[in-house]
């Protein structure tokens, strides 16, 4: 839907990119808005959203947590891995045993108390492969 569009480097877009490059945290759209607003007090939140979208679509930044903002529930309380279709959002189990040893790799390297991990593959489901 945004394919083949000619992008312009506006002041707002440049500043958003610059500010995002300054930090190693992973700000939310609203946090980016707060950062950018110090340099461009009249920028709107909508512009920030639109630019974050455009910039991640052309690969200049990445959007974490995928495009999905609906939560999914599972009666299977065993830890298990999932695969999500990047096109339709379908979420399925993956027949790979969770590797508990990962957690230990991180223990001792991090100040966090490690509780576990989630591994999610990203791909195209059979239907969306075309």
For residue 6, the partner it binds in DNA, its own copies, none, with Cβ less than 5 to 8 A by kind, is DNA
For residue 114, the partner it binds in DNA, its own copies, none, with Cβ less than 5 to 8 A by kind, is its own copies
Cβ neighbours of 38 (radius 10 Å): 9
Query: Min. distance of Cβ 20 from its own copies in angstroms?
Result: 4
List of residues contacting its own copies (CB under 8 A): 17, 20-21, 23-30, 32, 52, 56, 59-77, 82-83, 85-86, 91-96, 102-103, 105-106, 109-126, 129
For residue 87, the partner it binds in its own copies, DNA, none, with Cβ less than 5 to 8 A by kind, is none
Query: Min. distance of Cβ 21 from its own copies in angstroms?
Result: 4
Query: Min. distance of Cβ 4 from its own copies in angstroms?
Result: 22
Long-range contacts of range 11-20, CB-CB < 8 Å, 24 or more positions apart?
11/40, 12/36, 12/40, 12/43, 12/47, 12/51, 13/51, 13/54, 13/55, 15/39, 15/40, 15/43, 16/48, 16/51, 16/52, 16/55, 17/55, 17/60, 17/61, 20/61
């Amino acid at each position: 839907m945004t394919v083949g569009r000619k992008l312009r480097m506006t002041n707002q877009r440049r500043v958003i990119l610059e500010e995002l490059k300054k930090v190693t945290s992973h700000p939310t759209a609203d946090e980016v808005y707060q950062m950018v607003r110090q340099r461009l007090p009249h920028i709107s939140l909508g512009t920030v959203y639109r630019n974050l979208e455009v910039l991640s679509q052309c690969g200049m930044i990445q959007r974490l947590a995928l495009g999905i903002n609906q939560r999914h529930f599972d009666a299977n309380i065993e830890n298990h891995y999932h695969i999500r279709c990047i096109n339709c959002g379908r979420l399925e189990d993956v027949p790979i045993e969770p590797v508990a040893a990962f957690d230990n790799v991180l223990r001792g390297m991090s100040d966090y108390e490690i509780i576990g991990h989630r591994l999610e593959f990203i791909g195209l489901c059979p239907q969306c492969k075309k």
